[in-house]
Amino acid sequence: MVGRWMTGCARDGFDAVELDNLDSFARSRGLVKQRHAKAFARLLVRRAHRAGLAVAQKNWAELDGSRLGFDFAIAEECGRYDECGRYVASYGGRVLVVEYRRADFRRACRTHGDRVAVVLRDRALTPDGVRRWC
């Protein structure tokens, strides 16, 4: 199912997809293990690449997703949770930081804004909503 979605994204002209909830094993009460999440991520990354799409890791900051084939990271609220450095260690400048609170945005800009893109957005990501870069 997810593979078909990615094929559709490529057909519709998208350049990349983000794979969210990689860390769902942390909420599965033991039903999903980290190794399962990694194996599934590898399959999805290969499928996206076959469709001509770049693939972003989202969530699971402790994972160096570049080893699984991810091309970049979308680090949502990494300033808030002090995780931006983990993504930068794995992806260098290929990180997009998204913050929703101004204090977290300022922190991410101060600590990583000289190396990666950091944007302040409204949580609903509305077209006319908050959009500020550092």
Read off the pLDDT of residues 65-107 as tens digits, 9 standing for 90 and up: 999 999 999 999 999 999 999 999 999 999 999 999 999 999 9
b/e per residue 3-12 (b: at least 16 CB within 10 A): eeebbebbee
Dihedral in degrees, nearest 10, Cα atoms 102, 104, 109, 112: -170
Q: Could you give the CA distance from residue 131 to residue 122 in angstroms, rounded to a whole number? A: 7
| DSSP letter (8 states) at residue 62 | T
| Segment 1-42, tens digit of pLDDT | 888 999 999 999 999 999 888 889 999 999 999 999 999 999
Show the DSSP H helices in 1-134 as ranges. 2-11, 34-50, 84-91, 102-112
Whether the full predicted model's pTM is greater than 0.85, yes or no, is yes
